[in-house]
A and B are shown apart, each in its own frame.
Chain A
Amino acid sequence: MAEDKKPNKPVKKAAGPKQGEPPKKPPANVEAPKDDFDDNIRLGLDADRVMKVAGGVGAVSLVACLGLGFTGDAKRFMFAYLTAYIWILSIAIGALFWVTLQHLVNANWSIVLRRVAELMAQNMPLMALLALPILVPTAMGNDSLYIWVNHETVHADHLLHHKAPYLNVTFFLIRCAIYFGFWVLLSRYLFQTSVAQDQSKSPGDLAKRMQGLSAPSMILLALTLTFAAFDFLMSLEPAWFSTIYGVYFFAGCVLSFNSLFALTLMWLQKQGRLVKSVSVEHYHDIGKMMFGFTVFWAYIGFSQFMLIWYANIPEETFWYKMRFTGDWRTVSAILLVCHFVLPFLGLLSRHIKRNKKTLGFWAVWILVLHYVDIYWLVKPSLHEETLPTGDLLLDVTAIVGMLGLFLAGAAYQAKKVRLVAVGDPRLPKSLAFENF
C-alpha cells in the first residue's frame, strides 16, 4: 500500500496505465500529475462533467426558482427558499464540523476520507452567496420571513420590543457576516493546509497545526452554529424559545452530512476513484455515525418536545400546537416514524452498514427526511393547518438548484487537488483500518 510517501519525488513514467501517450498532450485534466499513490485520486474530467451537469441543472433550477419567486407570492417563495437553503447549509456545516472534529480528536481511520469532506466544506463562500436572497430582502426591511424586521410590528408587541436589541436587522446582518466569515476562514484554512500537506516535507507539523487550531475553532463552530439556528430558524417564531434548539440543529447537520458523504464516496468509487483506498470498513464507520446521530437527533427532539409538553406553558406549547394541528400532525408523525424508528431499525445491523446498496438507500432516506425536518421547522410559521402543496414547484426547484450548485462547487474545488490527503502521516493507518 502507500506505506512509503516520498513527497517531492519525480514522477515515475511507467506508473501510468496509458503507455503510448505523449506526456504533454492533455494539458489540465486527464491524469494530470501522477501521484505516488496506488489509486486513482484525481477527479479530472469527471469534475468538469459534474460542474457542467450538476452546475448547469442547479443554476437553471435556481433561476427558475427565483423567477417563480419574483412573479409569484414573495412570502411563499421566501419560505420555500429558506427551507431548501437551511437543508443544504446544514450539510455544509456538518462537513466543516466533521473535518474539524477529525483533526481535534486526531482520528486515524478517517484520513483517507478527509479530503472529500474538506471539498464539501469548501462550499462555504457559495453558502454565503446563496444566503443573499434571504439577507438582501431582510436588509431592505422586507418582513416576509422574519416579522421582527418590521418596526411597527415590533413596537406593537411587547415581547418583540424586549428582544429588539438582539432581533434587529443591523445586528442580524453583523451576526451573519460573523458566521459566514468564520466558516469561510476555517474551511479555507483547513483545506489549504491539508493540500499543502500533500507536498510538504514536514506533514506531521501541519497535522499538529491543524489539530491545534481545531480546538478553539470547535468552540466558535458550536457558537456560530447555535446562533445561526436561532437567527435563521428559531426567530421565524420570535416569541418562541428553546435552549436546546442549537443542539437539535447540530444533530441534523451531522446526520445529513454523513449521509451525503456516504453517497458522494459511492459515486466517486463508481467513477473509478478511490477504489483501492476507501473500503467497506470506512463505509461501516460512516454508517455508525448515521445510526448514532439518528438516535441523537431523536434524543434531542424528544427532550425538547417532552419537556415542553409536560410543563405545558403556553409560551412554549404554541410552537408544538402549530405542528400538531391539521396536516402538520401527519408530518410530525412522519418525522417520528421515518426520521427515527425506521432508520433506527434499518441501520442497526452491521450487514446493512457494510453493504453499499443498503447504506446508500438509508443515506438517501435520511437526506429526504432531513429536508422534511427542516420543512417542519420552517413552514408552519407561514402555512397553518394545511401543507403548502401548491409550492411544490418552488420547493423542488430550490432543492435541485442548491444541491446542484453544492455538488458543482465541490467538484470545482476537487479539480485542482487530489481526492486523498496523501501527505498525512496517519494515512497508512487509515488505509489499513479494519473494524473488529
Chain B
Amino acid sequence: MAAISDVNPFVQPPKGDNDFARVTDNVSRIAEVNRPPRAWYIAFGISTSLLGLFGISVAYLFWEGIGIWGNMNPSYWGFPIVNFVFWVGIGHAGTLISAILYLMRQTWRTAINRFAEAMTIFAVICAAVFPGLHVGRPWLPYWMFPIPNQMQMWPQFRSPLEWDVFAVGTYATVSLLFWYMGMIPDLATFRDRSTSPLRRALYGAFAMGWRGSSRQWHRYERAYLLLAALATPLVLSVHSVVSFDFATSQMPGWHTTIFPPYFVAGAIFGGFAMVVTLAVPARQFFGLKRIITINHLELMSKIILATGMMVGYAYGMEFFIAWYSGSAYEGFALLNRAVGPFAWSYWAMIFCNVVTPQVFWFKSMRRNVWVIFFVGVLVNIGMWFERFVIIVTSGSRDFLPASWGYFIPTAWDFATLAGSFGLFFTLFLLFCRYLPMVAMAEVKAFVPAAHASGDHH
C-alpha cells in the first residue's frame, strides 16, 4: 500500500461538500478509477488461476467420470456434498443481513449488506455446481427438475434431495431479486456519474430508468420490506431442508431432530465468518474504512460469537442425547467422531468452531482486524470440517462393521474444492470492480447529516 499511496485514489479522503457526497464519492470511485488497487490484481490473478484449475478439474471429471474422486464405498457422498453444504451455508449471512437485520432495525447492516448479498449469490452458484457434478451424468441434470415429459418420468418428490432443488432454487431467486432490486438506486448513481457512453448505456439499462422520485422511493421501500419479509423464512428454510438430506435418514449421527436449527445457526456462523474474511481486506484495499468501520467488524464478531455458541449448544445436545437415548449405534457414531479414525477432523472442527470464537469475549480482540480476519478464516475451515465430519464420519462407519471403510480424498477432490474458491473469488472481485460495493443510498439514510433536523427516523 505504502509504495503507491501517493497516486492511490483509494487512500485519499473522499471528496464532497457533505457526508452524502462523500459516501457517493468513496463508493463510486472504486468502479470509476482506471485501475483498481494492486492487491485487486494479485487477488484476481490467484482467483482466475484457481478458476482455471476448476475448469480443468471439471473437464477431466466429465472426461473420466467421478472415479477420479475419493468417493467410494462406503463413503458415497464425499467432497462434492461437503462442498455443496459448505457453500450453501456461506450464502446465509447475506440474506440474514439484508432481511432479518433489516426487520430488526439494525441500521449498521447498511455498510455491509450489499457485498454480503453478492457473496450469497456467488456462494449459491458455487453450491449449485456440486450436486450437478456429483450425479456423474452432466448431460442429465435437468432430471432434477419436474419438467413434464412424454415418458411421465418425474423426480422423487418424497426425497429431501429433491426438496433441496426447490429450496436452493427459491433461495437463489429471491436473493438475486433482493440484491438486484436493492442495487437499482446505486446503479442509477453510477449511470449519472459515468463519463463514457458504454458505461452510461450499461448502467443505465440495469438501473431500469430510476430517477429517484419520491414515488419511486416509496415503491422501492415497500418492495424492500416485502422482500425482506419473504426472505426471512428462507434464511431458516434453506439450510433446514439441506439438513433434512441427512436427518430424515436412519443413519446414526445424521438422524437427530436438532439438525434443522443447528444447520441454520451454523450457516449464519459460517456466512458471517466469510463476510468478515472478505470485509477486512476489501475495506483496506478499497479505502472503505470510513464506511465499514471497526464498529461494524466488532458487531459482526459478536454475531460470530453468538452463533458459534449456538453451534456449540447443538454439538453438546447431540452428544448428550446420543448417550441419553441408550441407542448403541447413536452412541457409537458420536464416540467414533471424537476418538475414531476421523477424530482429527472432529477436533479440528471443535477447535475452529467452538474454541477460536471465544476470543471475541474480549473487546480488544473484537476490534483487532487481524484477529477478526484470522478467526473468520478459521471458522470457515471449521465449518467445512463440520460438514466433513457429518458426511464422511457417519458414512464410513455405519451399522455393519463389515462394510466399514476409510475415506481418502484424491488430488482431484482438493483441486475441485480449491477451484470452487477460485470461482467464488473471481465473481466477487468482478463485483467489487464493477458494481456498487456498498449500498450508498441506504448508508446515506443513516449518516449524521440525514438527522440534522433532529428527527429520529
Residue from B105, B325, B361 having most chain A Cβ neighbours under 10 A = B325
Total contacting residues, chain B, CB less than 8 A: 30
Which residues on A are within 8 Å of B, measured CB to CB?
Answer: 109, 158-159, 162-163, 166, 215, 219, 222-223, 226, 230, 239, 241-247, 288, 295, 299-300, 303-304, 306-308, 310-311, 313, 315, 429, 432, 434, 436
Interface string of B92-106 (1 = CB under 8 A from A): 000000000001010
A230 → B minimal CB distance (Å): 8
By CB atoms of chain B within 10 A, which of A222, A304, A311, A434 has the most? A311
**Complex Cα spacing A418 to B396, Å:** 62
Whether A243 and B318, one on each chain, are in contact in the complex, defined by CB atoms closer than 8 angstroms, is: yes
Please give me the residue from chain A that is nearest to B305 by CB atom. A215
The residue on A at minimum CB distance from B158 is A310
- In the bound complex, CA of A295 to CA of B229 (Å): 13
Contacts known (A242-B257, A429-B456); A310 close to B309, Cβ less than 8 A: no
Q: How far is the CA of A310 from the CA of B260 in the complex (A)?
A: 14
In the complex, which residues of chain A have a beta carbon less than 8 angstroms from the beta carbon of B456? 429, 432, 434
CA distance A308 to B258 in the complex (A): 11
Highest count of chain B CB atoms <10 Å: which of A109, A162, A243: A243
Please report the C-alpha to C-alpha distance between residue A311 and residue B79 in the assembled complex, in whole angstroms: 25
Contact B326 A163 (CB under 8 A): yes
9 smallest CB-CB distances across A and B, nearest first, come from A243-B258, A244-B257, A310-B248, A303-B260, A241-B325, A162-B326, A244-B258, A243-B317, A159-B326
- CB closest residue in chain B, given A436: B457
Roughly how many angstroms separate A244 CA and B320 CA in the complex, as a whole number? 12
Scan residues 247-290 of chain B and give those whose CB is less than 8 A from a CB of chain A.
Answer: 247-250, 255-261
Q: Which residues of B contact A315 (CB under 8 A)?
A: 325, 327
How near does chain A come to B239, taking the closest CB pair, in angstroms?
12
A209 CB → nearest B CB, Å: 14
* Identity of the chain A residue whose Cβ is nearest the Cβ of B327 in the assembled complex: A315
Most interface-central of A166, A226, A310 (chain B CB within 10 A): A310
Does the CB pair A303–B240 fall under 8 Å?
A: yes
For this complex, 25 residue pairs linking A to B, each with C-beta atoms less than 8 Å apart, are: A109-B105, A159-B326, A162-B326, A163-B324, A166-B324, A219-B309, A223-B313, A230-B324, A241-B325, A242-B321, A243-B317, A244-B258, A244-B261, A247-B261, A288-B103, A295-B233, A300-B261, A303-B259, A307-B255, A310-B248, A311-B247, A311-B249, A311-B255, A313-B255, A434-B456
> Is B144 engaged at the interface, CB distance under 8 Å to the other chain?
no
Does B244 sit at the interface, judged by CB under 8 A? yes
Partner of A308, one of B105, B236, B257, B314: B257
Look across to chain B and name the residue whose beta carbon is closest to the beta carbon of A288: B103
Q: With A241-B321, A242-B321 as known contacts, state yes or no: A311 contacts B248, CB within 8 Å.
A: yes
Q: Which residues of B contact A223 (CB under 8 A)?
A: 313
B241 shortest CB reach to chain A, Å: 11
Asked if residues B248 and A307 are in contact (CB atoms below 8 Å), the reply is yes
Measured CA separation A207–B314 after assembly (Å):
31
Partner of A247, one of B240, B258, B324, B327: B258
Chain A residues near B240 (CB, 8 Å)? 299, 303
Q: Which residues of A contact B324 (CB under 8 A)?
A: 163, 166, 230, 241
A303, B327: Cβ atoms closer than 8 Å:
no
Chain A residue with the shortest CB-CB distance to B317? A243
The closest CB in chain A to the CB of B250 belongs to: A311
* Contact residues in B for A306 (Cβ distance below 8 Å): 244, 248
How distant is A114 from chain B, measured CB to nearest CB, in Å?
A: 17
In the bound complex, residues from chain A placing their C-beta under 8 Å from that of B327 are 315
Q: Which residue from chain B places its CB closest to the CB of A247 in the assembled complex?
A: B261
- Interface on chain B toward A: helix, strand, loop, or mixed SS? helix
* Complex CA distance for A295 and B105, rounded to whole angstroms: 20
Other contacts beyond A247-B261, A432-B456: 7, CB < 8 A: A226-B313, A243-B256, A243-B257, A244-B261, A288-B103, A295-B233, A308-B257
B236 contact set on A, CB distance < 8 A: 299
Write out the residue numbers on chain A whose beta carbons fall within 8 Å of the beta carbon of B244. 306-307, 310
Determine how close the nearest CB of chain B comes to the CB of A340; give it in whole angstroms: 13
- B320 → chain A closest CB, angstroms: 8
A222 touches B255 (CB 8 A): no
- Residues from chain B with a CB closer than 8 A to the CB of A244 are 257-258, 260-261
- Distance in angstroms from B135 CB to nearest chain A CB is 23
- Minimum Cβ distance to chain A for residue B32 (Å): 32
Task: Report Cα–Cα, A241/B318, bound state, in Å.
Answer: 11
Chain B residues with Cβ under 8 A from A429's Cβ?
456
Interface positions, chain B 299-354, Cβ under 8 Å from A, are 309, 313-314, 317-318, 321, 324-327
Kindly list chain A residues whose C-beta atoms are within 8 Å of the C-beta of B318: 243
Instruction: Knowing A166-B324, A219-B309, A313-B250, say if A304 contacts B317 (CB, 8 Å).
Output: no
Complex Cα gap A37–B52 (Å): 68
Q: How far is the CA of A300 from the CA of B457 in the complex (A)?
A: 35
Contact for B457 among A162, A304, A310, A434, CB less than 8 A: A434
A275 to chain B, nearest CB (A): 21
Hey, which chain B residues are within 8 Å of A295, CB to CB? Answer: 233
Which of chain B's residues have a CB closer than 8 A to the CB of A288?
Answer: 103
A241-B457 Cα distance, complex, nearest whole Å: 48
Of all chain A residues, which has the CB nearest B258?
A: A243
Known: A222-B313, A307-B248, A307-B255. A299 touches B457 (CB 8 A): no
Report B210-240 residues with CB < 8 Å from chain A CB.
233, 236, 240
Closest to A295 in B: B233
Q: Tell me the complex Cα distance, A55–B103, Å.
A: 40
| CA of A215 to CA of B244, assembled, Å | 31
Shortest CB–CB separation between residue B330 and chain A, in angstroms? 9
Residues in B with CB closer than 8 Å to A230 are 324
Shortest CB-to-CB span from B308 to chain A, Å, is 11
* Contact present for A307 and B457 (CB under 8 Å): no
B259, B261, B313, B361: most-surrounded residue (chain A CB, <10 A): B261
Indicate if the CB atoms of A243 and B255 lie closer than 8 Å. Answer: no
**A243–B260 CB distance below 8 A:** no
- Note all chain A residues with C-beta closer than 8 A to B257: 242-245, 303-304, 307-308
Docked Cα-Cα span, A223 to B105, in Å, equals: 29
**Residue of B with least CB distance to A300:** B261
A308 to chain B, nearest CB (A): 7
A380–B171 CA distance with the chains assembled, in angstroms: 39
Determine which of A226, A307, A432 lies in contact with B247 in the assembled complex, contact meaning CB atoms within 8 Å.
Answer: A307
CB of A135 to closest CB in B, whole Å? 21
- A359 vs B23: C-alpha distance in the bound complex, in angstroms? 42
Neighbouring A residues of B248 by C-beta, 8 Å: 306-307, 310-311
Bound-state CA distance A159–B331 (Å) is 13
Q: Tell me, in angstroms, the Cα distance from A304 to B105 when the chains sit together.
A: 31
Complex alpha-carbon distance, A313 and B327, angstroms: 11
Q: Which residue of B lies closest to A348 (CB)?
A: B229
